[in-house]
Amino acid sequence: MIDYLIVGGGMAGCNLAYNLLKNQRSVHMIDENSPSAASNIAAGIYNPLLPKHHKVAFQAELIYPIIESYYLELEQYLGETVHFKQPIHYYIETQAELNDWSAYAYNSNLSHWIEVHTSRSDYQFKANNGFLKIKHSGWADSKKMTAAIKAKLALEGALTNAYFDYSELSITDTEINYKGIKAKHIVFCEGCDLINNTINTNLELKPAKGEILIIKTELDIDYIAQQGVYMVPLGNQLYKVGSTFSWDVLDETPTEAGKKEICFKLEKFFKGNYDVVDHYAGVRPSSGDRRPILGALKPYNNAFVFNGLGSKGVALAPYYSSLMTHHLINGIPLDKEISTERYKNKTIGL
Ligand SMILES: Cc1cc2nc3c(=O)[nH]c(=O)nc-3n(C[C@H](O)[C@H](O)[C@H](O)COP(=O)(O)OP(=O)(O)OC[C@H]3O[C@@H](n4cnc5c(N)ncnc54)[C@H](O)[C@@H]3O)c2cc1C
C-alpha cells in the first residue's frame, strides 16, 4: 500500500509529490495531463507586489523569501533549469504616480520589496516617468517543471497517465482503493477540474480564464517588463505577453478579442515591432476569497485537497506544498484562512 494517491499533476500535485518524496513518503499520481491545464499555459511570473493596492501579497514575507532556494533545490533533483530569478520593471504612467510610489516606499516596509527609479529603463518603452524595480521576483517554466517531475514519477512507476474516474473510488477509514491502487491517503489537486469531483462540491472555486501570447521582437532585456501587461523574456527574441482575466466563459479557447486586448495594452507601453507567434488560453483555479485551499475533506480523515493556487501557482507552490506536506505527515494545523475548515458549514456532496 502506498502512502499518498495524488489526483492531478499540475503545479499543486507535482510540487506536493516532490515534497512527499523528499520526506520519504511513497506516492502515486493519476494525471490526464490536459494540454490546456493552467500549469501548461502560465507565464509563471512570481511578483510579490500588488501595485493597485500599494501593498505586497498575502503572506508575502513567508512565501517569497523561500522561492529561489526551493526551485534551486528542485532543479538539482530534476537536473533541469526551470526557474529564472529576474527583477520586474513596473513602468509608472504619471509623475503623480511616481511621487506616490516614492512616498509609499519611504514610509512603509515596501522598500524591502521595491526600488523606485526615476529614470526610464529602456528606450523601447514609452513610459518616461520611471519604474519600480520589483525585487524577490522572477518566473518559472511551470510546463517544463511539471513535465520533469512527472517524468521522474514515471521512471519509478508512480504515474498513471489517465483520467481519474471518481465512480471507481472507494474510501474507508483505513484504505483508499482506486482500480486496485491501494493508498493510505488521497489528495485531490485537479485545479479547475475540481468541479468534477464528487466529494469536493462544497469548496468555492471562482475560476478565471486567461489568454497569453508568444511574440517575437528584437527587444533584448534581462528583466520582466510590465505595465498593463507583462513581457517575459524567453530567449531567442521570444516573449510571453499577457494576460487577460475573464470569469464568464470558462473554456480553453484562444479568442480574437483576447489577442486584441493583449496587443492593445502591449502597444500602449512598448514601441517595438513584433509578430505574434503563438496564442494560448487556460483557466486559473482561483478561490472565491483568493486564498489557497488546503486540508482535509470532511467527513473523511484520509482525503485531502490542495488547490486554489489561482493566478500565483509559481509563487505559492513552494511554501504551500511544503506546508501541506507537514500537515499530512505531522498533522501540523493549518490557518483557518487557507484551510478547508473555512467551508465547514457548507454541505458536502457524494
Ligand atoms: C493565462 C494564464 C496565465 C498565468 N500566469 C501565471 C503567472 O504568471 N504566474 C503564476 O504563478 N501563475 C500563473 N497562472 C496560474 C497558474 O497556472 C496556476 O496557479 C497553476 O498552474 C495551478 O496549478 P494546479 O496544479 O492547481 O492546476 P492545473 O495546472 O490545472 O493542474 C491540474 C492537473 O490535474 C489534472 N486533472 C484534473 N482532473 C483530473 C482527473 N479527473 N483525472 C486526471 N487528471 C486530472 C489536469 O489534467 C492537470 O494536469 C496563469 C494561468 C493562466 C491560465
Q: Which of 80, 110, 134 is the last residue of a domain?
A: 134
Q: Is residue 50 in a domain?
A: no
Strand bridging mode 238-242 / 293-296: unpaired
- Give pLDDT, residue 121: 66
141 lines ligand 1 (CB under 6 A): no
Distance 34 CA to ligand 1 centre (A): 9
Q: What is the mean pLDDT of each run of 10 residues along the chain (350 residues)?
A: 98 98 98 94 96 90 97 98 96 89 81 87 81 95 98 98 96 96 98 89 89 97 95 97 93 96 96 96 95 93 96 98 98 95 66
DSSP string, 131-192: EEEE-S-EEE-HHHHHHHHHHHHHHTT-EE-S---GGGEEE-SS-EEETTEEEEEEEE--GG
In this structure, the residue with its CA closest to atom 7 of ligand 1 is 44
- Give pLDDT, residue 201: 62
- Give pLDDT, residue 350: 34
Contact 111, 125 (CB under 8 A): no
Q: Are residues 125 and 230 in the same domain?
A: no
- Counting other chains too, the contacts that 113-121 makes at CB distance below 8 Å and 24 or more residues apart are 113/48, 113/49, 113/56, 113/60, 114/49, 121/89, 121/91, 121/223, 121/225
Q: Would you call 344 helix, strand, or coil by DSSP?
A: coil
Q: Which of 284, 300, 331 is the last residue of a domain?
A: 284
Q: Are residues 270 and 212 in the same domain?
A: yes
Q: Are residues 186 and 297 in the same domain?
A: yes
Distance 254 CA to ligand 1 centre (A): 16
11 lines ligand 1 (CB under 6 A): yes
Q: Are residues 157 and 184 in the same domain?
A: yes
Helix (H) or strand (E) holding 346: none
- Give pLDDT, residue 200: 67
Q: Are residues 278 and 321 in the same domain?
A: no
Q: Are residues 199 and 219 in the same domain?
A: no
Q: Are residues 9 and 121 in the same domain?
A: no
**Residue 220, Cα to own-chain centre: how many angstroms?**
26
Q: Are residues 266 and 121 in the same domain?
A: no
Q: Which of 107, 134, 161 is the last residue of a domain?
A: 134
Q: Are residues 201 and 215 in the same domain?
A: no
Q: Which domain holds residue 226?
A: 208-284
Mutate to test the pocket of ligand 1, among 50, 193, 231 (most ligand atoms within 8 A of CB): 193
Q: Is residue 58 in a domain?
A: no
Mutate to test the pocket of ligand 1, among 41, 139, 146, 306 (most ligand atoms within 8 A of CB): 41
Atom of ligand 1 at shortest range from CA of 306? 26
Q: Is residue 349 in a domain?
A: no
- Give pLDDT, residue 60: 95
Number of domains in the chain: 3
Distance 95 CA to ligand 1 centre (A): 38
In this structure, the residue with its CA closest to atom 15 of ligand 1 is 311
Q: What is the CATH number of the domain that holds 10?
A: 3.50.50.60
Q: Is residue 53 in a domain?
A: no
Q: What is the pTM of this model?
A: 0.96
- Counting other chains too, the contacts that 254-263 makes at CB distance below 8 Å and 24 or more residues apart are 254/211, 254/279, 254/280, 254/281, 255/211, 255/281, 258/211, 259/211, 259/213, 261/211, 262/211, 262/212, 262/213, 262/229, 263/213
Q: What is the CATH number of the domain that holds 218?
A: 3.30.9.10
316 lines ligand 1 (CB under 6 A): no
17 lines ligand 1 (CB under 6 A): no
Atom of ligand 1 at shortest range from CA of 166? 41
C-alpha dist (Å) from residue 169 to 119, 199, 342? 60, 11, 25
Q: Is residue 147 in a domain?
A: yes
Q: Is residue 64 in a domain?
A: no
262 lines ligand 1 (CB under 6 A): no
Q: Are residues 306 and 181 in the same domain?
A: yes
Q: Is residue 75 in a domain?
A: no
